[in-house]
Amino acid sequence: MKLQQGWLTDIRQVPSPHFNQRPSDESPSLLVIHNISLPPGEFGGPWIDRLFTGTLPPDAHPYFADIAHLQVAAHCLIRRDGEIVQYVSFDDRAWHAGVSCYQGRENCNDFSIGIELEGTDELPYTDAQYQALAAVTQLLLQHYPITPSRITGHSDIAPTRKSDPGPAFDWPHYQQLLAQTSF
């Protein structure tokens, strides 16, 4: 796996329209970890791709009616089996964080990369997910002005609105993998 024009190679690319240019072509300096599952608590299925590409059918599940209109996408998704899907070039501004603030600076989408883990706040993430997340993170650390101390959770930058990646996300384990692995 490599990076070319902000896209990971050798993974599944599903281009989303839910992005625009970063202001002044700013280089991303923050990594935001999220979780998502659609419907909530269910894994597999095409619905995350459909939401992030603006094609979620509102009537396919009762939960979808409320979210189908949202124009959202993360840069990447890591599925339960470790599969990596990319929706937006890391060089572009994906619409993942919403109203947010990191160390006094608002609008984190301007200067961050968003990675979703397929999961819930309470259920442990899989080893395959940690391995894939560490591999992607290593590439990002090499290519962008992100440092290990500038990796945060969605709940940290939008604490009144968001709880992901939740208590299930094992930050020490992730940091240990980052310290050990090099790709």
Task: Name which of residues 94 to 153 contact Zn ion (CB under 5 A).
Answer: none
Q: What are phi and psi of 50, to 5 degrees?
A: -70, -40
116 is a catalytic site residue: yes
Stretch that binds Zn ion, among 40-48, 118-126, 154-162, 174-182 (CB under 5 A): 154-162
Which region, left, alpha or beta, applies to residue 131 given φ > 0 means left and ψ of -120 to 50 means alpha?
alpha
Q: Of 18, 22, 34, 75, which lies in the binding site for Zn ion, with binding defined by CB under 5 A? A: 34
Considering the complex, state which of residue 90 and residue 95 has its C-beta at the smaller distance from Zn ion. Answer: 95
154 binds Zn ion (CB under 5 A): yes
Considering the complex, state which of residue 32 and residue 134 has its C-beta at the smaller distance from Zn ion. Answer: 32
- Smallest separation, CB 35 to Zn ion (Å): 7
- Cβ-contact 140, 78 below 8 angstroms: no
- Smallest separation, CB 5 to Zn ion (Å): 25
Helical H runs in 70-125? none
Considering the complex, state which of residue 117 and residue 134 has its C-beta at the smaller distance from Zn ion. Answer: 117
**Residue 30 corresponds to which tokens in the numbers above?**
């923050």
- Cβ-contact 75, 137 below 8 angstroms: no
Q: What are phi and psi of 117, to 5 degrees?
A: -105, 130
Task: Name which of residues 157 to 176 contact Zn ion (CB under 5 A).
Answer: 164
Give me the catalytic one of 26, 42, 83, 116: 116
CA atoms within 13 A on the CB side of 114: 31
Q: What are phi and psi of 150, to 5 degrees?
A: -105, 50
| Residues forming the active site | 116
Give the residues lining the site for Zn ion (CB under 5 A): 34, 154, 164
